[in-house]
Amino acid sequence: MAKSTENYELLYIIDPDLNEEETAAIVAKFKALVEENGTLTEIDEWGKRKLAYLINDKPEGYYVLVKFTAAPAFPAELYRVLGITEGVMRALVTVAAE
Domain count, the chain: 1
Residue 1 has pLDDT above 50, yes or no: no
Residue 16: which CATH number? 3.30.70.60
Query: What CA–CA distance (Å, rounded) separates 31 from 52?
Result: 26
pLDDT of residue 61: 97
In a domain, 54, yes or no: yes
What local confidence, expressed as pLDDT, does residue 95 receive? 94
Please indicate, yes or no, if residue 91 is contained in any of the structural domains: yes
56 assigned to some structural domain: yes
Residue 22: inside a domain:
yes
**Which among 70, 74, 81, 76 is positioned nearest to 29, based on CA atoms?**
81
Q: What is the pLDDT of residues 19-60, one digit of tens each?
A: 999 999 999 999 999 999 999 999 999 999 999 999 999 999
Instruction: Look at residue 1 and tell me if it is in a domain.
Output: no
